[in-house]
Amino acid sequence: MKSTDLSLPYKAAHLPLQARLFVGMLQKLSVGSLTFIDPKGQVAHFGQLGAQPHAELQVRDWRAAGVILRQGDIGFAESYKLGWVDSNDLLAVFTLALRNEDAMERALHGHWWALLAKRIAHLLLRDNNRRGSRRNISAHYDLGNGFYQLWLDPSMSYSAGIFLPEHAGDLEAAQWAKYDRILDQLDAQPGQTVLEVGCGWGGFAERAAQRGLKVHGITLSKEQLAYAQARIARAGLDGLVTLSLTDYRDVAGQFDHIVSIEMIEAVGERWWPSYFAMLARLRKPGGKVVIQAIDIADARFEAYRSGTDFIQQYIFPGGMLPSPERFVQQAQRVGLRVHSEFEFGLDYAETLRQWRLRFEAQLDAVRAEGFDEAFIRLWRMYYLYCEAGFRERRTGVRQWTLG
């Protein structure tokens, strides 16, 4: 359906070529509706008028049209960062785009040739070898503990919580519930040893030690390590917890159980065999492994792995999501059997929503930490882009129990 406001289609013939192509793409919307505002303030309506989901998108500079058509979500991020595009509800924009994927193909994925350099850089310059892993992790997690304390809950957990009905939306309670479920899956007994691969700010290590477990946590983030060590000391758990700045490939010994919470996303596809081999090598016979992992739908994996997206370019350099099928294949290859899987993607959507609200409430403090408006806009998009992905089931999160 074309615009109900005939002025924009009528004048589209006088727009730059890329602008005409962009408007033509919007005219193909078949699900939901879009209110579109062009740089001159003209308003057009695309899709089925009044249909849900409804979004509003404003283009302030037509240069955004070409960037988005060439580079997809990366181009949208660049345009949003520069203020060339805006919306009063980015979540609705991303939801509308995902539900109209065929019509919005170029806006979502761009042209392969325009993204080739970014894809090569992602594969080569952000490879997760030992040096690359330290660099990639530092780029995201060493932004400063003060920054993360502004919007994470008091548990300082930077992964999906599990919202039980009795939590009534309490994010901190959901984070402790996540740790408790992992510990219950391990069926670990007091005095047993647990290796945590990617210990973050020490939340799981603290919870596990409170149950009498001996935890060795590793990280590549100096900021996280300093915070986690101080946290464990304050809790009086030094005798049960050791934390170190160690690459997962360099861990020696064996442990009764192994836990890794949303760390596999930073491993990189090339290094998945090394990661799973590490799990098999360090797990004592009869022990269990619990991995919490964000994943991409099996049907979308090949397209995803052949390109690069906004998250990999701007938020998590070197990042790569497995699909459930690939995860199982890697586990089975080293002799690990899947005992159970628990999917809770909608809980991640809620986790992200609450992180974003906390972030937005602390913008003055974020600026005081030294972050500019471009950073704020990119992180706002990060929260909303990911939330839309989880709500629309393009991405999921699972706890895998292996043995």
**What CA–CA distance (Å, rounded) separates 141 from 59?**
33
Does residue 199 carry a catalytic annotation?
A: no
Residue with tokens 């919306």: 87
**What CA–CA distance (Å, rounded) separates 287 from 211?**
17
**What CA–CA distance (Å, rounded) separates 181 from 184?**
5
Q: What does DSSP say about strands 395-402 and 338-343: parallel, antiparallel, or unpaired? A: antiparallel
Can you read off the two tokens belonging to residue 350? 């809620």
> Strand, helix or coil at 244?
strand
State residue 295 phi and psi, 5-degree precision: -135, 165
Cβ proximity of 382 and 315 under 8 Å: yes
Chain-centroid distance, C-alpha 28: 29
**What CA–CA distance (Å, rounded) separates 310 from 316?**
9
Catalytic residue among 19, 91, 104, 386: 386
Can you read off the two tokens belonging to residue 248? 């997962």
The runs of H, that is alpha helices, within 152-193 are 171-186
State residue 75 phi and psi, 5-degree precision: -65, -35
Neighbouring-strand partners of residue 55 = 34
Q: Which residues contact 31 (CB under 8 A, 6 or more apart)?
A: 47, 51, 53, 96, 99, 100
Q: ω before 53 within 30° of 0 (cis)? A: yes
Q: What does DSSP say about strands 54-59 and 33-37: parallel, antiparallel, or unpaired? A: parallel
The runs of H, that is alpha helices, within 187-266 are 203-210, 222-234
CA torsion angle 197 202 203 207 (round to 10): 90
Can you read off the two tokens belonging to residue 241? 């917890």
**What CA–CA distance (Å, rounded) separates 99 from 209?**
45
Residues identified as active-site: 386
